[in-house]
Amino acid sequence: MKNIHSALRILTLFIFITLAAISCRSTDETVNCFPNSPISVVLNLNLPSYQNLNHPGGWVYVNEQGSGTRGLIVLRTNGGFKVYDRNAPHLCPTTETTLSVVDNIKLYCPADKSEWILLTGEPIKVAQISPKIYLSQYDPNSNVLSIYN
């Protein structure tokens, strides 16, 4: 009988520790007040406004209809494209939480001076989570980039 109670206590303790560890772990999600907007943008990279996206390392701000509440940052990488939401992922939106590109190498939030690596989205200062990333599909035949969530 004592063995059963002892086993149940150990099992209960194990479950409690596991649940506590899972609930306290860090996730790469945005804050709960992050705008949930439908994203649906088609960019014709033949147009002059998107010429920077025709070579790796080039980036543009996109403020077209369907690009969210603050717009997008689109980056051409060696292997494709990265599309970031311009809302800071760790702060509720204000006039000071719009991300911008600095020195062609990092993203910057003026509200708290957070910084991320432009190429990867990895946080390097203040913030602990990466900017929200959207899916994209590139058609090399038409030179068109579709962005969506």
Chain segment 73-127, per-residue pLDDT in tens: 999 999 999 999 999 999 999 999 999 999 999 999 999 999 999 999 999 999 9
Going from N- to C-terminal start, the domains of the chain cover 40-148
What fold characterizes domain 40-148?
Answer: Rieske Iron-sulfur Protein (2.102.10)
**What does the pLDDT average to over 123-132?**
97
pLDDT tens digits, residue range 6-24?
555 664 544 544 434 443 3
3-state secondary structure of 4: helix
**pTM score above 0.75:** yes
Distance of CA 136 to CAs 9, 39, 103, Å?
50, 10, 24
**Number of Cβ atoms within 10 Å of the Cβ of 107:** 25
> Can you give the pLDDT at residue 76?
99
What is the token pair recorded at 88? Answer: 């800071």
Q: Are 66 and 41 in contact (CB under 8 A)?
A: yes
For 14-43, give one letter per residue: b (16+ CB within 10 A) or e.
Answer: eeeeeeeeeeeeeeeebeeebeeeebebeb
